[in-house]
């Protein structure tokens, strides 16, 4: 049977088969209850206006735009599956019977959660946009999940004061963790949130321990930005056409001073390591952010249009967000990988009067990560009022409502 004639049920099974294979390729195992939920919920009923083939592609489906900006979407299935797996892994005893709050609605993820919690559990989904919640109500009813509670509100504040949830899962990009999210969790409850630190977003599964949260796992991800009181605008500075610096933690960069950086000759340095394709380079990127910040470098994130990469203006590791540093008139960033057969080496590019030295400094940080056993980051979220002496050792980011501490443990 061709894709054109395959039924929605067949397309759904094919999508899940691919998700299971993708998990395995990443060294992950999809939990059986997550797989069962994905095979049960009809995603095409939550993506009206697109074909069944598009509904079951492993890609997001945009459901609302403001001009060219996407403000609501049904997330990519691979990301939904990984976040649900994070939640189930972090909750001792799994998802069955749990009380769940979803922040950022649309309906599809809420219906998957409803399958996971079962008849003895409950799911509430909230969104700030009435168009989104109205659509969620209709789609949930069409799919037979009209027992999901849909609320239109700004989730920066408690949704139902006094109520506690075993799991809060956020499906919008957040820059901070409001006190309401922690306070609405049960003791040992779990928050799964796409949180930006140093301008890079990771889906963090965080367990509540008293008035703080401690990470259980994290995954690379990207989401539509949070709206309402929790919104935090990312700032960008153009270096040349199609190449930008992303500033997200209060960095101050002179646009005039950086405008000529890429006109200076580029130097490339390699780490001389041999790593497997399963190496988690997202962990390395946070390591570089922490190490470069500790050395008083101006840490930034480099992003570039494909045309700038094709023209070899820059050669970033990932054009959507690569760690970079500004230091003493020099600019360095993690470069594209160098492959030999099925293994790769890490490298750095730099521009400026001492570009070779700048690239070498960045490469030394990469080697240090490899030598340390490729450690994974651990995130602690504490209230903004927490004194310095009560913080765990690590690199501190002060947000509006919280103090976030990043540290690393051996893999």
**pLDDT tens figures, 86-122:** 999 999 889 999 999 999 998 999 999 999 999 999 9
d(CA 25, CA 211): 37
Q: Map the chain to HEC letters.
A: CCCCCCCHHHHHHHHHHHHHHHHHHCCCCCCHHHHHHHHHCCHHHHCCCCCHHHHCCCCCEEEEEECCEEEEEECCHHHHHHHHHHHHHHCCCCCCCCEEEEECCCCHHHHHHHHHHCCCCEEEEEECCHHHHHHHHHHHHHCCCCCCEEEECCCCCCCCCCCCEEEEEECCEECCCCHHHHHCEEEEEEEEEEEEECCEEEEEEEEEECCEEEEEEEEECCCCECCHHHCCCCEEEEEECCEEEEECCCCCCCHHHHCCHHHCCEEEEECCCCECCCCCHHHHHHHHHHHHHHCCCEEEEEEECHHHHHCCCCCECCCCCEEEEEECCEEEEEECCEEECCEEECEEEEECCCHHHHHHHHHHHHHHHHHCCCCEEEEEEEECCCCHHHCCCCEEEECCCEEEEEEEECC
Average pLDDT of the residues in 209-224: 94
- The per-residue pLDDT for 62 is 77
Share of the chain above pLDDT 70, in %: 96
Please state the domain extents for the chain: 62-220, 235-372
Q: Which of 57-61, 300-304, 384-388 has the lowest mean pLDDT?
A: 57-61
- The per-residue pLDDT for 82 is 97
- Distances from the Cα of 160 to the Cα of 113, 181, 184, 264, 402, angstroms: 19, 12, 9, 57, 22
203 among known catalytic residues: no
| Token reading at 359 | 């690239």
- The per-residue pLDDT for 1 is 38
pLDDT grade, residue 335 (50/70/90)?
very high
Average pLDDT of the residues in 164-185: 97
Average pLDDT of the residues in 200-221: 96
Question: Greatest CA separation found in the chain?
Answer: 66
- The per-residue pLDDT for 69 is 58
- The per-residue pLDDT for 65 is 63
Q: Which of 162, 163, 32 is nearest to 96 (CA)?
A: 32
Q: Which of 52, 73, 75, 215 is catalytic?
A: 75
Within 10 angstroms of residue 197's Cβ, the number of other Cβ atoms is: 21
pLDDT > 70? residue 52: yes
pLDDT > 90? residue 57: yes
Average pLDDT of the residues in 212-227: 93
Average pLDDT of the residues in 299-322: 97
Average pLDDT of the residues in 266-290: 97
- The per-residue pLDDT for 71 is 57
Q: Left, alpha or beta for 352 (phi > 0: left; psi -120 to 50: alpha)?
A: left
More confident residue, 257 or 180: 180
CATH code reported for the domain at 62-220: 3.40.50.150
Q: Left, alpha or beta for 107 (phi > 0: left; psi -120 to 50: alpha)?
A: left
d(CA 111, CA 102): 11
- The per-residue pLDDT for 24 is 96
- The per-residue pLDDT for 411 is 52
Q: How far, in whole angstroms, is CA 241 from its chain's centroid?
A: 27
As a whole number, the mean pLDDT across the chain is 93
pLDDT grade, residue 72 (50/70/90)?
low
pLDDT > 50? residue 345: yes
| Token reading at 268 | 């490339």
* DSSP strand pairing (235-240 vs 165-170): unpaired
Q: What are phi and psi of 86, to 5 degrees?
A: -60, -45
- The per-residue pLDDT for 386 is 97
d(CA 38, CA 51): 18
Average pLDDT of the residues in 3-21: 87
pLDDT > 90? residue 67: no
pLDDT grade, residue 178 (50/70/90)?
very high
- The per-residue pLDDT for 2 is 43
Torsion angle of alpha carbons 6, 8, 9, 13, nearest 10°? 80
pLDDT grade, residue 6 (50/70/90)?
confident
């Amino acid at each position: 049977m061709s894709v054109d004639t395959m039924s929605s049920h067949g397309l759904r099974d094919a999508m899940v088969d691919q998700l299971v294979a993708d998990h395995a390729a990443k060294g992950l195992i999809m939990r059986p209850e997550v797989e069962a939920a994905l095979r049960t919920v009809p995603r095409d009923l939550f993506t009206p206006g697109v074909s069944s083939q598009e509904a079951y592609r492993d890609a997001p489906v945009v459901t609302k735009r403001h001009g060219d900006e996407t403000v609501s979407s049904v997330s990519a299935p691979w990301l939904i599956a990984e976040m649900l797996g994070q939640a189930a892994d972090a909750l001792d005893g799994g998802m069955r019977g749990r009380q769940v709050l979803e922040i950022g609605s649309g309906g599809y993820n809420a219906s998957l959660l409803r399958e996971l919690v079962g008849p003895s559990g409950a799911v509430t989904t909230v969104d700030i946009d009435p168009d989104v919640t109205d659509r969620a109500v209709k789609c949930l009813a069409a799919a037979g999940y009209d027992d999901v509670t849909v609320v239109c509100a700004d989730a920066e504040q408690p949704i139902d004061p006094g109520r506690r949830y075993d799991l809060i899962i956020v499906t919008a990009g957040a820059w901070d963790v409001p006190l309401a999210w922690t306070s609405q969790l049960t003791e040992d409850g779990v928050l799964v949130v796409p949180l930006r630190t140093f301008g890079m977003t990771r889906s963090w599964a965080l367990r509540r321990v008293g008035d703080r949260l401690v990470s259980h796992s994290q995954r690379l991800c990207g989401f539509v930005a949070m709206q309402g009181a929790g919104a935090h605008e990312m700032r960008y500075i153009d270096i040349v056409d199609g190449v930008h610096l992303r500033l997200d933690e209060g960095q101050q960069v002179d646009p005039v001073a950086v405008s000529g950086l890429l006109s200076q000759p580029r130097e490339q340095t390699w780490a001389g390591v041999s790593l497997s394709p399963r190496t988690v380079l997202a962990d390395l990127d946070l390591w570089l952010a922490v190490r470069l910040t500790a050395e008083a470098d101006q840490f930034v994130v480099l992003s570039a249009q494909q045309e700038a990469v094709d023209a070899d203006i820059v050669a970033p590791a990932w054009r959507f967000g690569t760690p970079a540093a500004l230091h003493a008139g020099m600019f360095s960033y993690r470069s594209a990988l160098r492959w030999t057969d099925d293994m790769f080496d890490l490298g750095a590019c730099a521009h400026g009067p001492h570009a070779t030295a700048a690239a070498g400094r960045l490469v030394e940080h990469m080697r240090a990560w490899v030598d340390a056993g490729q450690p994974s980051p651990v995130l602690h979220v504490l209230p903004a009022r927490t004194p310095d002496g009560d913080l765990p050792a690590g690199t501190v980011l002060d947000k509006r409502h919280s103090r976030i501490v990043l540290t690393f443990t051996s893999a």
